Amino acid sequence: MSDETTTGAAPRLSVRLARRLGGLSDRAIAWLFVGPTVFLLLAINIFPLIWTIRLSLTNYRANRANADVKWVGLRNYERILTDPDIWNSMQATAHFLIWTLALQVLIGFGLAYLINKKFKGDNFWTTVIVLPMMLSPAVVGNFWTFLYQPQIGLFNYGVAFLTGADPSSFTMIGDVDLAPWAIVIVDTWMWTPFVMLICLAGLRSIPDSIYEAAECDRASKWRQFWTITVPMALPFLMLAVLFRGIENFKMFDLVVQLTGGGPGSVTELTSITLKREAFEKWRTGYASAYAVILFVVVFGLASIYVKALNKVKER
């Protein structure tokens, strides 16, 4: 009964819809389907961006609803670009980005290369290696804070065992010179497995026949590595760098938990500075200007990188 009703109703509906749409142009039909998506895109992405740009030109503070909002022009931008603290924060972020990417690519690719050589228990070791990235960054930060404790921390004892130093004689997260490295170490520990997994996918996508052909041509292992393995895994490696670069540029929770941006401001990354300005100091206009500057920087760098990635893929 119901089947009869539905099968009968559906063709009638589609015929009616087709007749009604028949009066519409192709362009109008296209807009009918694309319109809702465009509207959502404007509402969720474009409008906030325009609103942020507008706020960046004012002295608006979100916690002072009763205060007058004044148009300050480019003053916020000028203040940011001439503030040495902001440049220090950019420098800290660049240090963190460069070193974490370099270490994660090297170690991640190395691990993937080893795991790719089939051996007994390789699946087990893969699971063990990826465990850190399954943890919450806040938990990892807390966990490593204990490991770095000079009096009870295993990390300090490990270093002391290897170097003969007194474990209480150095403090990883309280020392200006060591703190940036402390966060690099933790991020590398946590996210190298991610790079390893992507590289492993790349390595496993290389057909064995290419290596067999190289063997026939008597190419050495070293030559096979540089002329087959690396070029064919490169797009995957670049993709991993893109993902990790974007993630680490906005790194927040791990660093806050580990050092709180200190000592002083030596590990205060741009995301932490932005949060402080926007939600601790409540300088909304100033923070908006900072966000716009960061957006331009990230957008510019990402565009260049993606262009390079596409070129590598085309090769």
Partner 1 sequence: MKSTHLALTATTAIAVAFAAPGAASAEDLTLCWASWDPANALVELSKDFEKQSGHSMNFEFVPWTNFTDRMLNELNSGGQLCDLMIGDSQWIGGAAENGHYIKLNDFFDANGIKMDDFIDATVTGYSEWPKNTPNYWALPAFGDVVGWTYRKDWFERPELQAEFKEKYDRDLAPPATFAELKDIAAFFQDREIDGTTVYGASIYTERGSEGITMGAMDVLYSFGFQYQNPDKPYDMEGYVNSPGAIAGLEYYKELYDCCTPPGSSNGYMSEGIDAFKSGQVAMQMNFAFTWPGFENDANVGGGKTGYFVNPAGPDGDQFAQLGGQGISVVAYSEKQDAALEYIKWFAQPEVQAQWWKMGGYSCLKAVTLAPDFPSSQPYAQTFLDSMAVVKDFWAEPSYAILLQDTQKRFHDYVVAGNGTAEEALNGLVRDWTETFEDDGKL
Residues that bind partner 1 (CB under 8 A): 59, 62-66, 85, 148-151, 153, 168-169, 171, 173-176, 256, 259-266, 276, 279-283
Give least dist CB 256 to partner 1, A.
7
Q: How far is the CB of 52 from partner 1 (least distance, A)?
A: 18
For partner 1, the closer CB: 85 or 215:
85
Cβ 110 to partner 1 shortest distance, Å: 32
Number of alpha carbons in the 13 Å side-chain half-sphere of residue 7 = 4
Which residues lie below 8 Å from residue 290, measured CB to CB, with a gap of 6+? 76, 80, 86, 270, 273, 274, 277
In the complex with partner 1, the residue whose CB is nearer, 108 or 141, is 141
Cα(153)–Cα(159) distance, integer angstroms = 10
User: Least distance in Å: CB of 263 to partner 1?
Assistant: 4
Taking the least distance from each CB to partner 1, the nearer of 203 and 251 is 251
| CA distances in angstroms from 174 to 63, 259, 265, listed in the order given | 33, 8, 11
Given a contact cutoff of 8 angstroms between Cβ atoms, the answer to whether 111 and 127 are in contact is no
Written as one letter, the residue type at 263 is: P
- Whichever of 108 and 180 has its CB closer to partner 1, that residue is 180
Instruction: Considering the complex, state which of residue 224 and residue 265 has its C-beta at the smaller distance from partner 1.
Output: 265
In the complex, least distance from residue 254 CB atom to partner 1, rounded to whole angstroms: 14
Q: Which is nearer to partner 1, 105 or 258 (CB)?
A: 258
CB of 291 to partner 1, least distance (A): 18
Distance CA 105, CA 108 (A): 5
The least CB distance from residue 81 to partner 1, in Å, is 16
Closest approach of Cβ 225 to partner 1, in Å?
44
DSSP string, 79-148: HHHT-HHHHHHHHHHHHHHHHHHHHHHHHHHHHHHHHHS--TTHHHHHHHHHGGGGS-HHHHHHHHHHHT
Nearer to partner 1 (CB atom), residue 91 or residue 168: 168
Contacts (Cβ under 8 Å, ≥6 apart) of 197: 112, 130
Task: Decide whether 122 or 166 has the Cβ nearer to partner 1.
Answer: 166
Is the CB of residue 233 less than 8 Å from the CB of residue 109?
Answer: yes
* Other beta carbons less than 10 A from residue 148's beta carbon: 24
**Separation between Cα atoms, residue 193 and residue 160, nearest integer Å:** 27
Residue closest to 213 by CA, chosen among 202, 200, 203, 224:
224
At 239, list the tokens. 């993709």
